[in-house]
């Protein structure tokens, strides 16, 4: 299982992902689910993935290959590229050249569709759904930061002031705290704290969501990655946050008046 969440606030964007992958309970591994695409001073984009790992890795690396080849003076023809991939590369459409985040989200969506065209039928023969769900956000110079949720069909929705965050994977345990706290006025650090508490609630209730965590806080208009942390079991801040949040919650609980329906 997976839990990833991202928040769009005035101060920027916060991305948080766990790294546990499992196929059954006896095959558990650690894979990073955060992929960063950066052209320093010009654009920063972050992709969080849930679903079938082979599919999300295919999408993430395909996006990177497109970017890389675009920066080479002459692209090397690769006979393994699909016609659509070649067409996209010929048109020079990739995350490095997209003129705005909406176009970038479309490129991610098209890449998902290409992976679908290549993989879905074979997976279906084994009874495996084409299961992928992505959060994609960032900023391209000249635009404010934007945040998207991209589905398996390649279509997507964008975060708005009313719904400023997205969750993918095991989202329910960690939703109540997001609903109560997330607000456009939060500072980047506060939004990160909220995501970490939401992750803690999820990890407590679902063993298949686990450490280490990737946290990235993007500051509006910085156009480069300056705040990124890998949070593991020895991380003192996260350990203290988990303990204090739990203790304070129990304290608030005990201080609230008991029901008096039958006194």
Q: Does 201 bind its own copies (CB under 8 A)?
A: yes
Q: Judged by CB under 8 A, does residue 176 bind its own copies?
A: yes
Smallest gap from Cβ 258 to its own copies, in A, equals 4
How far apart, in whole angstroms, are the C-alpha atoms of residue 51 and residue 104? 21
Least distance in angstroms from the C-beta of 135 to its own copies: 19
> CB of 216: closest distance to its own copies in angstroms?
10
Terminal CA-CA length for the chain: 46
- On the CB side of 62, CA atoms within 13 Å amount to 26
Element (H, E) at 248: helix 236-255
**Which of 46, 44, 45, 49 shows the shortest CA–CA distance to 18?**
49
Is 223 among the residues that bind its own copies (CB under 8 A)?
A: no
Residue 107 makes contact with its own copies by CB under 8 A: no
How far apart CA 56 and CA 256 sit, in angstroms, is: 45
Taking the least distance from each CB to its own copies, the nearer of 129 and 179 is 179
CB of 177 closer than 8 Å to CB of 194: yes
Among 118, 193, 211, 222, which residue interacts with its own copies (rule: CB under 8 A)? 193
- Applying CB under 8 A, the site for its own copies has a residue count of 44
**Dihedral (CA of 114, 118, 124, 126) sign:** negative
Decide whether 113 or 246 has the Cβ nearer to its own copies: 246
Give the ranges where 72-224 is alpha helix by DSSP (H).
83-90, 101-125, 175-181, 188-205
Nearest distance from C-beta of residue 83 to its own copies, angstroms:
39
**Binder of its own copies out of 74, 79, 160, 180 (CB under 8 A):** 180
- Residue from 42, 129, 143, 179 binding its own copies (CB under 8 A): 179
Residues that bind its own copies (CB under 8 A): 172-173, 175-177, 179-181, 187, 189-190, 192-194, 196-197, 201, 204-205, 215, 217, 226-227, 229, 237, 240-241, 244-246, 248-250, 252-262
């Amino acid at each position: 299982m997976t839990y990833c969440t991202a928040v769009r606030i005035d101060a920027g964007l916060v991305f948080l992902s766990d790294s546990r992958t499992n196929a059954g309970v006896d095959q558990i591994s650690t894979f990073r689910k955060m992929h960063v695409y950066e052209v320093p001073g010009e654009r920063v984009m972050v992709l969080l993935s849930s679903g079938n790992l082979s599919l999300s890795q295919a999408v993430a690396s395909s996006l990177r290959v497109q970017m890389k080849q675009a920066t080479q003076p002459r692209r090397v023809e690769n006979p393994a590229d699909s016609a659509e991939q070649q067409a996209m590369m010929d048109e020079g459409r990739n995350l490095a050249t997209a003129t705005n985040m909406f176009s970038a989200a479309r490129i991610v969506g098209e890449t998902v569709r290409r992976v679908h065209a290549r993989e879905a039928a074979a997976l279906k023969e084994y009874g495996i759904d084409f299961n992928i769900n992505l959060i994609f956000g960032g900023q391209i110079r000249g635009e404010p930061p934007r945040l998207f949720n991209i589905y398996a069909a390649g279509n997507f929705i964008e975060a708005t002031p009313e719904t400023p965050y997205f969750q993918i994977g095991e989202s329910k345990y960690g939703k109540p705290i997001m609903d109560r706290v997330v607000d456009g006025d939060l500072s980047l650090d506060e939004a990160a704290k909220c995501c970490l508490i939401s992750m803690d609630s999820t990890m407590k209730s679902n063993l298949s969501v686990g450490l280490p965590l990737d946290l990235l806080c993007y500051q509006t208009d910085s156009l480069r990655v300056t705040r990124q942390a890998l949070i593991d079991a020895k991380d003192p801040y996260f350990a203290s946050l988990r303990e204090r949040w739990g203790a304070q919650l129990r304290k608030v609980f005990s201080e609230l008046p008991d029901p008096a329906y039958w006194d």
